[in-house]
Amino acid sequence: MNIKIDEITVKTEYISFDELRNKQSVRATFKLPEEIIDLLGVIAGQLGIKQKSLLDKLIEDTSLLEELAQKATQAAENKATRRQKTFVISKCSLQSINDIAKKQHISRDILVEISIRRLLPIIETELEKHISRKNILEEMRSYLMHGENLRKKAYKLLGKDDVLYDLLEKQQNLAQKNISTVDSIIKKGMPMEDW
């Protein structure tokens, strides 16, 4: 279908009312292990996205979800203490969870849990990066101290008006700004250490 708007023709695809309704957000409560609830929150925080978006992404591939359900067993339900957690997810995601849980004779809670467990490799990789960032930050601080000594030396030998002193001062300011940025990134990743 083509729509003409102020002399501009825009080609559009037909969007059905039902497709739009499936994007509506609904609340759904699941009983999940505390570590799984934390995992979803930590990864969402690290990636800077909403838990709803992350959960919807994990559930959108219904064929994979069905495959995971076939491999899961109800015995996993008794392994950990569970608590109720209400999530906001799309109506379509909730329908997929309900349909596959019913078809595979598995609880919705287990289905959501195994979906979230797919994030484990991501947190392991991100935690390794986080630790590396912390180590590099220490080296950056050492570099900053060395640069500060060099700047002071240039001041003594060349004076404040020398072009080399000016370059070293700019380099120090940039290094300090970069250290502050890396420090913020590391603070954002700190919840992963507790996980």
Q: What pLDDT digit, counting tens, does each position of 28-42 carry? A: 999 999 999 999 999
Q: Global pTM?
A: 0.71
Q: What is the pLDDT of residues 138-188, one digit of tens each?
A: 999 999 999 999 999 999 999 999 999 999 999 999 999 999 999 999 998
The answer, yes or no, to whether residue 71 has pLDDT greater than 90, is: no
Both 69 and 33 in one domain: the answer is yes
Q: Give, in degrees to the nearest 5, the angle at Cα 117 between 115 and 94.
A: 25
Angle at 23 between CA 17 and CA 27, to 5 degrees: 130
Asked whether residue 110 falls in the same domain as residue 141, the answer is no
For residue 79, give the DSSP letter: S
Number of H helices, E strands in the chain: 8, 4
In the chain, how many domains are there? 2
Q: Among residues 101, 118, 135, which one ends one of the domains?
A: 118
Shared domain for 9 and 92, answered yes or no, is yes
List CB contacts of 26: < 8 A, sequence separation 6 or more: 88, 89, 90, 91, 94
**Does residue 73 surpass a pLDDT of 90?**
no
User: Are 11 and 97 found together in one domain?
Assistant: yes
Q: How many residues does the chain have?
A: 195
Domain extent, residue 143, equals 123-194
Q: CA-to-CA distance for 91 and 101, rounded, in angstroms?
A: 15
Domain limit, last residue, from 87, 118, 149: 118
